[in-house]
Amino acid sequence: MKINIPETDKKRVVIVGGGFGGLKLALKLARRKAYQVVLLDKNNYHQFQPLFYQVAMSGLEPSSIVFPLRKAFRKKEDVYIRVTEVLAVHPDRQQLETSLGICNYDYLVLAIGADTNFFGNEKIARLAIPMKSVSEALFLRNRILSDYEKALSTTDYEERQGLMDIVVVGGGPTGVEVSGALAEMKRYVFPKDYPELNTDEIDIYLVEGANRLLAGMSEQSSRKSLEFLTNLGVKVRLKTMVTDFDGECVHTNDGETIRARKVIWAAGVKGAKMEGVPTSALTRGNRIRVNRFSQVEGLENVYAIGDIAYMEEEAYPQGHPQVAQVAMQQAVCLADNLSNLHRGRELTPFSYKDLGSMATIGRNRAVADLPGFKFQGAFAWLIWLFVHLFQILGVKNKVFIFLNWVWNYVTYDQSLRLIIRPRVPKSGEVEVES
């Protein structure tokens, strides 16, 4: 069975993934009208990943950081969106196998992003909490709030510590931002919501295997982020690795045992798996090796962009960083090259322009490494706010996020601490597939 997509004389470009790279590419191609564009994603919305942690920390509602894919392509001709899971690619037949059926392509672009990397530890993978989707961020929010509700009725000190203490694994931007947000909630929010609890008992740990935080940023930003977190009361463990987690206790390689039921895993990513991609094209981290034109090694008419793509250039002999800017710049370059291909023109090799890196550690605390400039503190925090607000899709989302940020800044409070659980069908009820 084939996916129901109208046939056309135009060449069909199938894009798998509606993240930063896939969405950018689809929007660019839709404006040029040279190709039929088919965008496949397992969700019907685009997710703004840099703000997942604010959903998890009750600062924003999930609806504020997602944007409906169909809304982005209103009044665009020859653009088709299908919500489906891609099961495999068959390059020899130029077909994709999906949960809806077979999808033919003339050109295929894999923008499937990355998954959480647990480095082969199945127990941690089963028990730790990742943050690679809005649903995972909402799960974390529910888990934190539910455990604090339980802590109110727990008289045993050790058991209460397990409910209240939190371990964050990974000292990159996500781990640093989550730890800072948790520390501010401990200081300003939890004492008002849970006056019966002694919030001084709450311990927030940040565990990082390297000898500094924010390894992808400057030494100056790394030192300042450590200072900010330490001043907020976060217990930072550098040159330390989590070796085991049984759901009750966290064990590290230096022999420390931390009583905590919640481990937030932000320690690394690996390329999402795609059946049918030859193993010869895969490299470390399960990324797909591509040339400077984003063409997958060994495959014809198949491209990869974003976190899944491993591309070497002179300035990046170990591949590009897995960040949104790389994905969006590769999407623009590939859109131009597909237009060049359609017109019989020469292709342009991709070159990454680093626009800088930022991380926020809480109110008036951030670090920013911009080309030629480095900032820390309140000014960096304002830059971080402006850049992320500008990148959010949709005027309504921008307004809602801005109002939430202003309210949080003025009141030191968020009004979104709701425990929202999915409804579980009762015995005998028919569960409707979503």
Q: How many CB atoms lie within 10 A of CB 54?
A: 27
Residue 102 has which token pair? 């077979």
Give the tokens for residue 59.
């600062």
Tokens found for residue 269: 């990513």
Of 265, 239, 238, which is closest to residue 250 (Cα–Cα)?
A: 265
> Would residue 159 show up in a list of annotated catalytic residues for this protein?
no
In sequence order, which residues have a C-beta less than 8 Å from that of residue 225 and are 6 or more positions away?
Answer: 176, 213, 214, 359, 361, 367
Tokens for 36, please give them: 């039929």
The one-letter amino acid at 125: A
Beta-carbon contacts of residue 419 (< 8 Å; ≥ 6 apart):
141, 142, 145, 146, 149
The helix (H) or strand (E) run that includes residue 318 is none
The CA distance from 205 to 209, in Å, is 13
Q: For residues 278, 281, 283 and 285, what is the CA-based torsion angle, rounded to 10 degrees? A: -60
Q: Of the residues 61, 149, 177, 300, which is catalytic?
A: 177
DSSP-assigned letter for residue 273: P
Q: CA 389 to CA 409: how far, in whole Å?
A: 15
Q: Of the candidates 122, 134, 184, 239, which has an alpha carbon nearest to the alpha carbon of residue 360? A: 184
Beta strands of 249-321 (E only): which ranges?
A: 249-252, 257-259, 262-265, 269-271, 288-289, 302-304, 309-310
Coil, helix or strand for 293?
coil
Say if CB 306 and CB 327 are below 8 A apart.
yes
Element (H, E) at 370: strand 365-370
Identify each DSSP E strand in 113-256 by its residue range. Answer: 114-116, 166-169, 204-207, 235-237, 242-245, 249-252
The residues carrying an active-site annotation are: 177
